């Protein structure tokens, strides 16, 4: 009981700091696959909402889309951590992202007495995209090649009025990673990029990516090499050295754009670990990687020192 009381007292400073702030949380499809991890995630979300934190959830669904494409005999390919979306694969994405996953997540949240509203980037002109032209990318073998990603959109503009309307009325928006171009054509959009774009447009205090990785690792084979804190200069150096590759690279790029766009703090953590979201938010040590600008890093370290001395 003493440990519980101490933990609650230790979290008080954070709860006061976070009240009425906006957090954008992107959760990967891998976290939503298993019942136990989904249940633990929605419990954490319900607790955060009870603390008057304004939450926006953005979800992917890569594993589920791949599984359905296999059942339907639809070819699926990923290059450099991003999916190639054929017209057939886009139909799969619609069924999985705006259908199965969104509905299941809404139902789980409702079970915890949260009031979620399911959306995609198409709703309320939330996210407008342009179809991505063929681009040069570095594949998983380190080779540069020109790739046409197909029915994929890059974010052109964001209109968050529908989100602010929901947040102001105590609803929790749950956004699937689909959007449309100016003519209304639906396109697949990287969920990390949608989360980053929404966080920037909302002026969010935090952008959090829940993944299957402990965070950013200096050595992907060694979890003890976790980078707990990073600033843009460090990340650029790591990318140039080749230390950041594959699926982690788009997340790091999103974090960099977000902090440069005004989001105070971005985080990458393992969403499969029980209560990892709460540990990252309410303990000084955290459990993942926090990425901030240098000035914000100095402010954070000063705050932590004051907390420890109090």
Cα(133)–Cα(246) distance, integer angstroms: 21
Cα(81)–Cα(253) distance, integer angstroms: 12
Give percent of the chain above pLDDT 90. 67
Cα(9)–Cα(5) distance, integer angstroms: 6
Alpha-carbon distances, residue 176 vs 98, 99, 137, 309 (angstroms): 6, 9, 25, 43
CATH architecture of 20-309: 3-Layer(aba) Sandwich (3.40)
pLDDT band of 304, cuts 50, 70, 90: low
What is the model's pTM?
A: 0.91
Determine the Cα angle at 62 with ends 90 and 239, to 5°: 110
Least confident of 134-138, 158-162, 201-205, 287-291: 134-138
Least confident of 138-147, 200-209, 233-242: 138-147
Cα(191)–Cα(154) distance, integer angstroms: 11
Burial of 242 (0-12, 13-18, 19+ CB in 10 A): exposed
Question: How high does pLDDT run on average in the chain?
Answer: 90
Quick one: average pLDDT of 279-291?
90
Q: Domain map of the chain by residue range?
A: 20-309
DSSP state of 83: E
State yes or no: pLDDT of 122 exceeds 70: yes
**CA dihedral (156, 292, 248, 126) positive or negative:** negative
Question: Within a 10 A sphere around the Cβ of 223, how many other Cβ atoms?
Answer: 12
- Confidence at residue 137, expressed as pLDDT on a 0 to 100 scale: 80
- pLDDT tens digits, one per residue of 21-66: 999 999 999 999 989 999 999 999 999 999 999 999 999 899 999 9
């Amino acid at each position: 009981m003493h440990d519980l009381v101490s933990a609650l007292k230790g979290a008080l400073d954070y709860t006061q700091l976070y009240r009425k702030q906006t957090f954008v949380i992107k959760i990967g499809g891998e976290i939503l696959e298993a019942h136990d991890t989904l249940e633990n995630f929605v419990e954490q979300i319900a607790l955060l909402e009870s603390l008057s934190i304004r939450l926006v959830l953005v979800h992917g669904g890569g594993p589920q889309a791949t599984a359905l494409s296999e059942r339907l005999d639809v070819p699926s390919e990923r290059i450099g951590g991003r999916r190639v979306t054929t017209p057939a694969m886009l139909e799969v994405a619609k069924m999985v992202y705006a259908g199965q996953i969104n509905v299941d997540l809404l139902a789980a949240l409702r079970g915890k007495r949260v009031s979620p509203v399911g959306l995609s980037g198409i709703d309320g002109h939330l996210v407008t995209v342009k179809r991505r032209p063929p681009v040069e990318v570095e594949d998983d073998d380190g080779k540069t090649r020109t790739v046409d990603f197909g029915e994929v959109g890059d974010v052109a503009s964001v209109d968050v009025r529908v989100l602010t309307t929901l947040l102001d009325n105590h609803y929790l928006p749950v956004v699937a990673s689909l959007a449309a171009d100016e003519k209304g054509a639906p396109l697949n959009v990287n969920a990390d990029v949608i989360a980053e774009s929404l966080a920037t447009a909302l002026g969010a205090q935090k952008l959090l990516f829940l993944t299957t990785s402990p965070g950013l690792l200096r050595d992907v084979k060694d979890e003890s090499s976790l980078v707990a804190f990073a600033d843009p200069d460090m990340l650029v150096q790591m990318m140039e050295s080749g230390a950041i590759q594959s699926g982690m690279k788009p997340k790091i790029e999103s974090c960099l754009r977000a902090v440069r766009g005004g989001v105070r703090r971005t985080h990458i953590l393992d969403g499969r670990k029980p209560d990892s979201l709460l540990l990252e938010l309410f303990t000084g040590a955290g459990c993942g990687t926090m990425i901030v600008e240098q000035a914000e890093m100095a402010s954070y370290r000063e705050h932590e020192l004051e907390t420890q001395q109090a």
